[in-house]
Each structure stands twice: as structure tokens, then as C-alpha cells.
Structure 1
Amino acid sequence: MKAFRVFYSTAGRSTRAIVLSESDSTLEKSLSLKDPDYRVGDSYSRITNKRELPLSSVPVKELSVGELFKLLGKEY
């Protein structure tokens, strides 16, 4: 499991989030699960910048419930 600080755009807004993902290649899918406005393959949805973070520096309040359970190895 890896943590990424992601800056991204959707239709009408630009924002950032911390996203947990298995790898760089599944980052867009993980982001779409966290933000329903982000749609994989949509021309308005795109990641503009990303940076990998150490898991130990990710604040728990930044994680969704699903991400927290995944990090703890529990089923959600």
C-alpha cells in the first residue's frame, strides 16, 4: 500500500487529496473511489500532480473509512 498526495481537476473544480493505492497504475481508480466527481477516462477529470508520501506521515483524518480499513487489513 502506498500513499499519494494528489492534485487533480474535475469538471468545475481543482482540489487535492491524500489517496491510498496499491501502486501508481491504480491511482486513478483509487481516486475515483474516494471522490465520486472524479471519473476515470473523463476528459475533465485528470491528475495534475502527484507525490508519494510515507504512510507514517499520513494523518488519519485524511483517509476515508474504506482506506482506513484497507490499511488495517480489514474488510469493508
Structure 2
Amino acid sequence: MEKQEVFNILVEVCQDEVVVENPDIDLFEEGLLDSFGIISLLVEVEGRLGISVPITEFTREEWNTPNNIAMKLAERE
């Protein structure tokens, strides 16, 4: 899995290029990701990357930045 692939998905889900420009931005604090966005993100990740993440394992503290999301997904490959 390429980190850029994860960022591309995040750009689509968050509808903002800032996730690529600042991969350490807190997506929740900045209002770029909400409950609906989390579901969209997990559906896209499973469909495009083949990585399944149960919603029960998605915590805002660990999945709050583009870099953290890419790292957590890489652990699941």
C-alpha cells in the first residue's frame, strides 16, 4: 500500500487537498472528518485497498491525521 493512495482517498472523503499538504493535520479538530466521513473512509479503504477496519477499532485518538491513518492501515496489510 502506498501512503499516497491513502492520501488520495482522504482528499476525496474530506474534499480538501490540505490532507496532502499537511499530513499531520488533525482531521477531527479541523472539521475535515466526522462520523459520516469515517464510514465513507472505511468503505473506500476496504473497496480500493482491500483492508478491512472494523468501526469498533477506529478511534479518533489513533486515526486523527493522514499520517496516522496511513500508518494504522499499513499495520493491517
Work out whether the TM-score is over 0.5: no
Relative to its length, the structure with more strand (as a share) is 1
Q: TM-score, normalised by structure 1?
A: 0.29
Relative to its length, the structure with more helix (as a share) is 2
